[in-house]
């Protein structure tokens, strides 16, 4: 165990999306499995205060924490890999938040009339944020967003340079992730991009202790020695980050290379060997599943898969629990609007995820109607649940104009609406229900256990939310009279109202919607029960389809 606070700073060079988040999370997982108390921090150099208002096409999903903080998707990777850490607002901050704090302090006279500058005031605030986030851990792994050489990232790099000077070289390690491309026409791996990336770092006073080289093939000892020589790093401190079939392979590949051994050696940490047996067993199922199931994800951001990152990973986790591989089939809801339902006939389960805005909504509703009428397992998340309520209201309850106030604010049949206490709030995000809320599960309906209770096995759960609209209590009785089962609800004692959290259909093999985002709490070794049950139901659907096809033949 570490006797003093230790820091690992992970930087990246050459290009974005090189895999810093997965690399950092993998190191964290390996150290945690040695019995070290680990925490992780993401620092992003953009000026948005948080990613909550950023386009999914640019930034991917927004990962919400229990305390309601809207963060970068890398926090999702951290949570999936590091099992025992609890992440809060302190574990993710942007340049926007840093500058906001500095300006507020300046306006309040906190700098006593001094000229406020990037150095030392902005860099001091960055260091303050880092130390606030890591106070309860033995070792902190801090990922610096962006790419070395970006002008907006310079204050963050200067801050971490100062931390090594202040805390001592024995307590701080710099790990730099870079690219070693293979040029097929030359038949060679090229180290020059890595050399230039390290040169950029060294020019601002940071000498990497460890190099992690992203590559599509193993690096031999000769290549590693060459990289080390030109980058002023020992050859045994250069490691391959080879492309992997699954992100969950990465910690095992790092362990095979001895990366965690080198980290503990460099930081003077005495700890036991990591126990990777459960992780290896999980990865074994991913690579050698007994079954296969196709899940249709009906959305409008299907060209940018990072928008649904946590959902796609949760499907993998649910598949592992069922010894099955899950093949995600991304379906553009606007194609469904055009009447192209054929693709829905090729999947064994249909999932409609969350989202905002009216585009593609009618296509999602058609997909939900297909799942309901054809007895295909259905899972609606957030907006997906709301649209399931709209579809049920239109086609079962006779409310042909049923809709949401998000899309038709003046409509008289809005079964989805803002609650009274939310109306009139104009600040963007002011009406959002963000973070963890308690959901009370209905255990039985009509003498049978609900699908919700069968999944959870308990009557109270805490789940994370990110939404603005709710099922309208004005229409709730009519919906229930026609067969919609409200199988989970949140009791808002402050405002004296009950909010629908989960719905299902009792006359359907598996049809369930939830207002919250279960994907935000799923882990590979602890899959979310709703995803486990959805995949289980979809596997039964797949077997039924196969039997039917044999009958046709």
CATH number of the domain to which 139 belongs? 3.40.50.300
Contacts of 17 (CB under 8 A, 6+ apart): none
Residue where a domain terminates, one of 247, 281, 315 = 281
Q: Is the pLDDT of residue 188 over 60?
A: yes
Contacts of 267 (CB under 8 A, 6+ apart): 2, 6, 8, 139, 170, 171, 173
Average pLDDT over residues 451-464: 97
User: Across all residues in the chain, what is the average pLDDT?
Assistant: 92
Residue where a domain terminates, one of 254, 281, 308 = 281
Assigned domain for 105 exists: yes
On whether both 225 and 125 belong to a single domain, the answer is yes
On whether both 203 and 229 belong to a single domain, the answer is yes
- pLDDT tens digits, 112-140: 989 999 999 999 999 999 999 988 899 99
Residue where a domain terminates, one of 249, 281, 313 = 281
On whether both 477 and 530 belong to a single domain, the answer is yes
Average pLDDT over residues 308-325: 97
Assigned domain for 357 exists: yes
Q: Please say whether the beta carbons of 13 and 212 come within 8 A.
A: no
Angstrom distance (rounded) from CA 435 to CA 454: 24
- pLDDT tens digits, 161-185: 999 999 999 999 999 999 999 998 8
Helix and strand counts by DSSP (H, E) for the chain:
18, 25
On whether both 325 and 260 belong to a single domain, the answer is no
Closest listed residue to residue 134, CA positions, set 232, 38, 249: 38
On whether both 240 and 320 belong to a single domain, the answer is no
Token representation of residue 302: 């299907």
On whether both 50 and 131 belong to a single domain, the answer is yes
Assigned domain for 327 exists: yes
Burial status of residue 181 (CB atoms within 10 A of its CB: 0-12, 13-18, 19 or more): middle
**DSSP states along 334-399:** HHHHTT--GGGGG-SEEEE----SSTTHHHHHHHHHHHHHTT--EEEETHHHHHHHHHHHHHTS--
Closest listed residue to residue 117, CA positions, set 147, 149, 158, 145: 158
At residue 236, the pLDDT reads 94
Q: Please say whether the beta carbons of 286 and 250 come within 8 A.
A: no
Assigned domain for 457 exists: no
Domains of the chain: total: 2
Q: Write down the H helix ranges in 422-528.
A: 451-456, 473-481
On whether both 319 and 246 belong to a single domain, the answer is no
On whether both 258 and 306 belong to a single domain, the answer is no
- pLDDT tens digits, 190-233: 999 999 999 999 999 999 999 999 999 989 999 999 999 999 99
Distances (CA, A) of 237 to 32, 94, 257, 399, 495: 21, 30, 10, 66, 58
Assigned domain for 1 exists: no
On whether both 254 and 148 belong to a single domain, the answer is yes
Establish how many alpha carbons lie within 13 A of residue 61's alpha carbon, considering only the half-sphere containing its beta carbon: 24
Angstrom distance (rounded) from CA 383 to CA 370: 17
On whether both 371 and 270 belong to a single domain, the answer is no
Assigned domain for 532 exists: yes
Chain centre to alpha carbon of residue 189 = 33
On whether both 392 and 365 belong to a single domain, the answer is yes
On whether both 396 and 270 belong to a single domain, the answer is no
Question: Could you tell me what percent of the chain has a pLDDT over 70?
Answer: 94
Q: List, by residue number, the catalytic residues.
A: 382, 517, 519
Average pLDDT over residues 39-51: 93
- pLDDT tens digits, 86-103: 999 999 999 999 999 999
Q: Please say whether the beta carbons of 520 and 64 come within 8 A.
A: yes
Assigned domain for 441 exists: no
Residue 346's domain comprises 289-417+469-486+501-548
């Amino acid at each position: 165990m570490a006797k003093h606070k230790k820091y690992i700073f992970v930087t990246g060079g050459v290009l974005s999306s090189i895999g810093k988040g997965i690399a950092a999370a993998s190191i964290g997982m390996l150290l945690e499995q040695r019995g070290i108390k680990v925490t992780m921090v993401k620092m992003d150099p953009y000026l948005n205060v948080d990613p909550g208002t950023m386009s999914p096409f640019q930034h991917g999903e927004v990962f919400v924490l229990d305390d309601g903080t809207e963060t970068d998707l890398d926090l999702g990777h951290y949570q999936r890999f590091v099992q025992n850490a609890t992440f809060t607002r302190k574990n993710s901050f942007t340049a926007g938040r840093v500058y906001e704090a500095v300006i507020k302090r300046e306006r309040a006279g906190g700098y006593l009339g001094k000229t406020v500058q990037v150095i030392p005031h902005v860099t001091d605030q960055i260091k303050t944020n880092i130390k606030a986030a890591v106070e309860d851990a033995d070792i902190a792994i801090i990922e610096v967003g962006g790419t070395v050489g970006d002008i907006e990232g310079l204050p963050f790099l200067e801050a971490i340079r100062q931390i090594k000077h202040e805390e001592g070289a024995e307590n701080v390690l710099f790990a730099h992730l870079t690219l070693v491309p293979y040029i097929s026409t030359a038949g060679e791996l090229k180290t020059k991009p890595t050399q230039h990336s390290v040169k950029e770092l060294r020019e601002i006073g940071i000498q990497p202790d460890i190099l992690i080289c992203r590559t599509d093939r193993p690096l031999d000892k000769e290549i590693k020695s060459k990289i080390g020589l030109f980058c002023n790093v020992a050859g045994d401190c250069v490691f391959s980050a080879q492309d992997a079939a699954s992100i969950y392979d990465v910690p095992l590949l790092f362990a095979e290379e001895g990366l965690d051994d080198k980290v503990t050696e460099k930081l003077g940490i005495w700890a036991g060997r990591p126990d990777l047996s459960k992780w290896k067993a999980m990865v074994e199922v991913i690579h050698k599943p007994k079954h296969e199931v196709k899940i249709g994800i009906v959305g409008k951001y299907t060209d940018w898969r990072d928008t649904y990152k946590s959902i796609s990973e949760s499907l993998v986790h649910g598949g592992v629990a069922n010894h099955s591989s899950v093949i995600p089939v991304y379906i553009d809801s606007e194609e469904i609007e055009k009447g192209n339902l054929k693709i829905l006939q090729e999947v064994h389960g249909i999932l409609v995820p969350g989202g905002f805005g009216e585009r593609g909504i009618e296509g999602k509703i058609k997909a939900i109607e297909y799942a309901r009428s054809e007895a295909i397992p259905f899972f609606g998340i957030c907006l997906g649940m709301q649209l399931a309520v709209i579809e049920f209201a239109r086609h079962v309850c006779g409310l042909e104009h049923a809709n949401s106030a998000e899309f038709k604010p003046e409509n008289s049949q809005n079964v989805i609406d803002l609650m009274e206490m939310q109306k009139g709030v104009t600040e963007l995000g002011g009406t959002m229900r963000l973070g963890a809320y308690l959901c009370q599960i209905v255990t039985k309906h009509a003498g049978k256990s609900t699908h919700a209770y069968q999944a959870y096995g308990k009557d109270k759960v805490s789940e994370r939310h990110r939404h603005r609209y709710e099922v309208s209590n004005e229409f709730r009785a009519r919906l229930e009279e026609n067969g919609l089962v409200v199988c989970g609800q949140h009791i808002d004692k402050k405002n004296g109202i009950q909010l629908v959290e989960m719905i299902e259909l009792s006359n359907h093999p598996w049809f369930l919607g939830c207002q919250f985002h279960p994907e935000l709490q799923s882990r590979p070794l602890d899959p979310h029960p709703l995803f486990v049950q959805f995949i289980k139901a979809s596997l039964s659907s797949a077997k039924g389809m196969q039997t039917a096809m044999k009958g046709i033949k």
